[in-house]
Amino acid sequence: MQIAYGTSGIPWVRSLEGVEVLESGIGELKATKSEDELVLEAMAKPIDSPKLSELAKGKKTCTIIISDHTRPVPSKHIIPFMLAELRQGSPDIDVTLLVATGFHRPTSKDELTQKLGEKIVAEEKIVIHDSQDPASNVEIGVLPSGARLVIDKVAAETELLVSEGFIEPHFFAGFSGGRKSVLPGVCDQVTVLGNHCAKFIASDCARTGVLEGNPLHIDMVDAARQAKLAYIVNVIIDEDKKVGGAPLDQNMYQSVKGLTAAESAAAPGAVLIICSRCNDGTGGEGFYRALKDCESPEKLQEETLKIPMEQTNPDQWEYQILVRMMCKHHIIFVSDPSARQFVEDMKLEYAPDLETALDRAYALKGKDAHTVVIPNGISVIVEE
């Protein structure tokens, strides 16, 4: 058994006797057709929607929201077919590809080329969303929570808004895909920060696999409706498209996502061990500083819960979720030696390898402690 870690993995070398292993079963799902065939079949029979070519008829402009560099969406196998079908319905339609960066950094040209291919990058109009540029965004309404809905003008001013996306468990939105292409994908920072506020993140419904009653999901769905998102090609990525833990263990920030699966399986006071390569460091200065400079995780949690929606800080939701787990559990962070300093700065226990971490955990909880192993935390939904 391999524990996801970087591009290789860490082998589990101990006996599995008495050890409970939680896996999603995604490795058992194998496509029987090529990616192109599957996408074309799905587009030929859309769910509760006319075909894209029908939606395009009579339209002069269309914006396709595409995923950014942080998402493993196989855009090369989606966007060419979407472009072709749009132009089948309206040969002269003016199409813009809008990169849904959300609150991430801009996607580079090299990353766009890798994602879309040289032909599309050279021939199509591409705009990279900037959540921090008020001039490029416009307010179109108010969300159920009372938050302002401000989206990219390229999305707001088009006649037809469509998207690509992929579906997987998400640690506070329930699932990725669908409505997330609009919020946070192409929203202004005022809307993204409001959606990721302390009150919403603290909700018991803001958990992996939970949609009903999830306040983030409710606002996200409404944002997509108000933006008039008319059509989306969602895909599910099988296990072969992900290598080890990368890119979801590239930094401490991303590693929080996998750790929430362990939280869901653990009783209060349990020891949580996470193996994370963290080759890209902490993943955010604000995230790092919040933990490093706080008096204690408990004090930081208390202070964060008092922050109102309109004063939400960048990275706040990530450290809020991490300190939630730190207040309930003893966390041991397994990573390369280069990560030791910032792991300890953030008030977490560092271990250089899995064996050391396990020895410490059993010393704390006893050699007969109930042990649960989740080889790939990001793909698992733990049911109570």
Q: For residue 334, is pLDDT > 80?
A: yes
Q: Which fold has domain 2-27+243-379?
A: 2-enoyl-CoA Hydratase; Chain A, domain 1 (3.90.226)
Whole-number Å distance between alpha carbons of 378 and 190: 28
Residue 295 to residue 292: CA distance in whole angstroms: 9
Mean pLDDT (the chain) is 94
Spot the catalytic one: 170, 196, 217, 329: 170
Q: Is 170 among the residues known to form the active site?
A: yes
pLDDT category, 243, cuts 50, 70, 90? Answer: very low
Q: CB of 218 within 8 A of CB of 144?
A: yes
User: Which residue in 230, 235, 184 sits closest to 62, CA to CA?
Assistant: 230
Stretch 345-367: mean pLDDT? 97
**Residues linked to residue 139 through DSSP beta bridges, in sequence order:** 150
Q: Is the pLDDT of residue 245 over 70?
A: no
Radius of gyration of the chain (CA): 22
pLDDT at 244: 42
Domains 2-27+243-379 and 35-237 share a fold: no
Whether the predicted model's global pTM rises above the 0.95 cut: no
35-237, what's its fold? Rossmann fold (3.40.50)
Domain boundaries, the chain: 2-27+243-379, 35-237
What is the rounded end-to-end Cα distance, in angstroms, of the chain?
24
The predicted-structure confidence for 72-127, as pLDDT tens digits, reads as follows 899 999 999 999 999 999 999 999 999 999 988 899 999 999 999 999 999 999 99
SS3 annotation, the chain: CEECCCCCCEECCCCCCCEEECCCCHHHCCCCCCHHHHHHHHHHCCCCCCCHHHHHCCCCEEEEEEECCCCCCCHHHCHHHHHHHHHHHCCCCEEEEEEECCCCCCCCHHHHHHHHCHHHHHHCEEEECCCCCHHHEEEEEECCCCCEEEEEHHHHCCCEEEEEEECCEECCCEECCHHHHCCCCCECHHHHHHHCCHHHHCCCCCCCCCCCCCHHHHHHHHHHHHCCEEEEEEECCCHHHCCCCCCCCCCHHHHHHHHHHHHHHCCCCCEEEEECCCCCCCCCHHHHHHHHHCCCHHHHHHHHCCCCHHHCCCCHHHHHHHHHHHHHCEEEEECCHHHHHHHHHCCCEEECCHHHHHHHHHHHHCCCCCEEECCCHHHCCCCC
Cβ neighbours of residue 267 closer than 8 Å, sequence gap 6 or more:
none
- pLDDT number for residue 383: 80
- What's residue 254's pLDDT? 86
State both tokens at 379.
């793909």
Whether residue 129 lies in the annotated active site: no
Q: Distance (Å, rounded) from C-alpha 195 to C-alpha 172?
A: 11
Give the model's pLDDT for residue 247: 64
Q: Which range among 3-12, 48-57, 157-166, 222-231 shows the weakest confidence by mean pLDDT?
A: 3-12
pLDDT at 72: 83
Q: Say if residue 153's pLDDT is above 90.
A: yes
Q: What is the pLDDT of residues 18-71, one digit of tens each?
A: 899 998 877 777 888 999 999 999 999 999 999 999 999 999 999 999 999 888
Give tens-digit pLDDT for 179-195. Answer: 999 999 999 999 999 99
- Comparison of pLDDT for 353 and 246, the residue scoring more: 353
Identify the top-confidence range among 9-18, 19-28, 331-340: 331-340
